[in-house]
A and B are shown apart, each in its own frame.
Chain A
Amino acid sequence: MTSLVWAGGFPCSKHKRCNGTERDARVMVWDQLPLPSRIRSALQRTHLKSVREVLSLPAVDVQRLTGLAQPEVHQLLTVAAAVCRRHAPLTVLQLQRGECRRCESGLRLSVSCPVLDGLLRGGLPVGGITELSGPSGAGKTQLALQISLSVQYPVEHGGLGAGALYICTEDSFPIRRLQQMISEQAILRSEVPPSVISGLHFSDHVYIEHAADLDSLQVCLSRRAPVLLAAGLVRLIVVDSVAALFRSEFQTEDWLERNKQLLTFSTMLHQLSQEFTTPVLCINQVMDVLKDDDSLGPLSSSVTPALGLAWANQVMMRLMMLRHQTTVSRGDQSSTLRRLEVVFAPHLARSKRDVGVWREGVRGVPVLE
């Protein structure tokens, strides 16, 4: 039986390819399924081409299209379902023992700072969208650049052994700052043997794309990203920022259309993240909280991430970086104090850490016991 590569596929419905030679499990030859010939011939008379199509219809529709009796439809659906399923249910005990390689493994991407890794219980999860929001100048891009470097370290040093795809939507990419951070990696990651650090050619593995509008963003995610991911060149996607594209291209009356586009965009990110077990980091802007709108969280700050509920529903982990008035010093450097806060995450308490932005990167201020 053809094994399923992925059941989703990218939502480029304009370009549906029906390439007969492609080992695409979405297009299924009915002969391959263990079904009686009566059901098979009924199916061949319909326009249904794949198990996914069969399962996407209500059972009554399948019955009507095939003209089969109810028990036969049930048999067909059961066989189709068994093909679609990636693996049988696993117990949590089995998962904890690591008996399923494709499943949630607890792997995390370190952010190159032990204090912040502690806040995140290891780092970024490798599945799902992590959002980092905050006012301008808070240091979001700084942290994103740092994570684009930390992903390149081998797994035993908290990375994923591959590069990053960095998609810029607003300003040009801060290449000088990246070079500065690269040159200071030995200071930031003093626990890593220098030979390892010098062996990593950081700038070669940050793939920078500019997407000035939604169409180019879609092209980037549907064409460039899968190629880089499938080749193992990249195991982190950064979008800096999501807000820029979705705020500017739509007037306030178009919010329905905007939400639809947001959903398409986030669906693509989710599929890439799931298929290639890749963390996705989206930087977001903030807006002022309306006085009586406490729907999305306790009023711990005067700002809330942009793009509203439609976007928030797509985010698995929400982080916020805020600037404070005070400064903090270390050696010959001083930095405006920031705070990185976990707004929500399925596995984290709402907590925060003080953070400084230094020459070598973003570092949490250790919590005094």
Chain B
Amino acid sequence: SAVQLYLGGEFETSAEVLKFGLVLFESGFSLTDDPIVELETANNHGGGEAVTALELLQREKECGSITTFSSQLDRALKGGLPVGKVTEICGAPGVGKTQLCLQLSVDVQVPLSFGGLEGQVIFMDTEGSFVLQRVGDVAAAVVRHFSLVRCHDYVELLAELHLLPDFLRDQPRVRLLVIDSVAFPFRQQLDDLSLRTRLLQGLAQQLVSIATRHNIAVVITNQMTTRLQDSQSHLVPALGEIWGHASTTRILLQWEGSRQVAAIVKSPCCMDTAVQYHITSEGFRDVNQPENSDQPEIPLTERRSL
């Protein structure tokens, strides 16, 4: 069965497993027919036995991350995008922020039996860059548990976030919240910078609280802006210094010549790692560089212990 293959290390990378899993998922193949899987999931869920608070805390800590289809990015993030934390993706227009968000929205839905979180996703679009045509390319199989909220300005965004906890209570399987982008509505019409700062601070607290209380990976995208320093212009994430504290992890997407690079610029566990990526018709992907691999792919069985 597929699970035996998985456990037996037949797959070399998590991306292969996920791809295989998604193919099966798309063709409607249900692994719960497999008795081995049923046993495994029953064990994993502890089938009714009592759990201490410490165990619960530990489980939450191990709750893991959203593995992407980009093994290199997962490795750079030490496993994937962390659940229960706020991650910011910033970059210039057109570099791939929305594409990565769409990719994560697919990745979070991968079934548990394939190492996924089998989670649902809420996508808050403030720019209008959520285009159904593109979603069809990337996420055709997983549209049932993929919710869209469209916010036309910062007031609507704040309103939706006020209503989110009630929504999440009714939909406990949500594991990913995307806000694409936070910068766009907050940079329009808000001339009062001190009000903006206070609203953003409140927003940051709300996002952290949603992430921890509901065990959700919160992903926000941010624009870049130019800052003049010593008569030199630098590209920095928008929304100011204080906003920089809102996220636990910050991923910067940028162009280097003709290459696209994702750099982890802020993280509790890994710094200064940069991986190359490209956007294909299927989504956000590694760039395969067989001639350049000084870092061979870590086999799946080893990865599990990270």
Check A315/B160 contact, CB under 8 A, given A7-B153, A299-B258.
no
CB B119 to nearest CB in A, in angstroms, measures 14
Flag if A89 contacts B147 (CB, 8 Å). yes
Flag if B129 contacts A299 (CB, 8 Å). no
Flag if B255 contacts A95 (CB, 8 Å). no
- B130: chain A residues within 8 A (beta carbon): 104, 346
Contact of A84 among B135, B136, B159, B254 (CB under 8 A): B159
CB A5 to nearest CB in B, in angstroms, measures 12
Q: How large is the interface on A (under 10, 10 to 19, 20 to 34, 35 or more residues)?
A: 35 or more
Cβ proximity bits B40-59 to A, threshold 8 Å, 1 near / 0 not: 00000000000000000000
Q: Does A106 contact B (CB under 8 A)?
A: yes
Question: Could you tell me which residues of chain B, from 125 to 156, have a CB within 8 Å of some CB in chain A?
Answer: 127-137, 139, 143-150, 152-156
Question: In the docked arrangement, what's the CA distance between A213 and B174, Å?
Answer: 50
Of A51-59, A150-158, A221-229, the segment with at least 4 beta carbons within 8 Å of chain B is: A51-59
Question: In the docked arrangement, what's the CA distance between A11 and B259, Å?
Answer: 40
Contact of B159 among A6, A55, A316 (CB under 8 A): A55
Question: In the docked arrangement, what's the CA distance between A96 and B137, Å?
Answer: 13
Name the residue on B nearest A74 (C-beta). B162
Contact of B163 among A57, A59, A78, A122 (CB under 8 A): A78
Flag if B147 contacts A90 (CB, 8 Å). yes
Flag if A96 contacts B132 (CB, 8 Å). yes
Q: Does B256 contact A (CB under 8 A)?
A: yes
Q: Does B209 contact A (CB under 8 A)?
A: no
Q: How large is the interface on B (under 10, 10 to 19, 20 to 34, 35 or more residues)?
A: 35 or more
Question: Could you tell me which residues of chain B, from 253 to 283, have a CB within 8 Å of some CB in chain A?
Answer: 254-259, 279, 281
- B135: chain A residues within 8 A (beta carbon): 92
Q: Does A313 contact B (CB under 8 A)?
A: yes
Flag if A294 contacts B188 (CB, 8 Å). no
Question: Could you tell me which residues of chain B, from 180 to 205, have a CB within 8 Å of some CB in chain A?
Answer: 183-184, 187-189, 195, 198-199, 201-202
- B223: chain A residues within 8 A (beta carbon): 313
Flag if B167 contacts A89 (CB, 8 Å). yes
Q: Does B35 contact A (CB under 8 A)?
A: no
Flag if A121 contacts B133 (CB, 8 Å). yes
Question: In the docked arrangement, what's the CA distance between A90 and B146, Å?
Answer: 8
Q: Does A91 contact B (CB under 8 A)?
A: yes
Cβ proximity bits A284-306 to B, threshold 8 Å, 1 near / 0 not: 00000000001111111000000
- A186: chain B residues within 8 A (beta carbon): none
Check A295/B159 contact, CB under 8 A, given A274-B152, A309-B226.
no
Flag if B131 contacts A86 (CB, 8 Å). no
CB B127 to nearest CB in A, in angstroms, measures 7
Q: Does B290 contact A (CB under 8 A)?
A: no
Question: In the docked arrangement, what's the CA distance between A269 and B299, Å?
Answer: 51
Question: Could you tell me which residues of chain A, from 18 to 69, have a CB within 8 Å of some CB in chain B?
Answer: 52, 55-61
Q: How many A-B Cβ pairs are below 8 Å? A: 167
Check A58/B132 contact, CB under 8 A, given A80-B159, A85-B156.
no
Q: Does A230 contact B (CB under 8 A)?
A: no
CB A53 to nearest CB in B, in angstroms, measures 9
- A7: chain B residues within 8 A (beta carbon): 152-153, 155-156
Question: In the docked arrangement, what's the CA distance between A58 and B128, Å?
Answer: 26
Of B8-16, B60-68, B90-98, the segment with at least 4 beta carbons within 8 Å of chain A is: B90-98
Question: In the docked arrangement, what's the CA distance between A313 and B186, Å?
Answer: 13
Q: Does A308 contact B (CB under 8 A)?
A: yes
Flag if B254 contacts A128 (CB, 8 Å). no
Flag if B143 contacts A56 (CB, 8 Å). no
Q: Does B235 contact A (CB under 8 A)?
A: yes
Q: Does B179 contact A (CB under 8 A)?
A: no
Flag if B147 contacts A298 (CB, 8 Å). no
Flag if A316 contacts B128 (CB, 8 Å). yes
Q: Does B108 contact A (CB under 8 A)?
A: no
Q: Does B158 contact A (CB under 8 A)?
A: yes
CB A162 to nearest CB in B, in angstroms, measures 20
Flag if A92 contacts B163 (CB, 8 Å). no
Name the residue on A nearest B191 (C-beta). A260
A to B CB contacts below 8 Å, 13 in the list: A55-B162, A81-B163, A91-B143, A91-B147, A93-B146, A96-B143, A103-B148, A263-B187, A300-B258, A313-B93, A313-B223, A316-B127, A347-B133
Residues of B within 8 A of A (CB): 92-94, 98-99, 122, 127-137, 139, 143-150, 152-156, 158-160, 162-163, 166-167, 183-184, 187-189, 195, 198-199, 201-202, 223-226, 235, 254-259, 279, 281
Pairs A-B, 5 closest by C-beta atoms: A344-B94, A81-B159, A347-B134, A347-B131, A92-B143
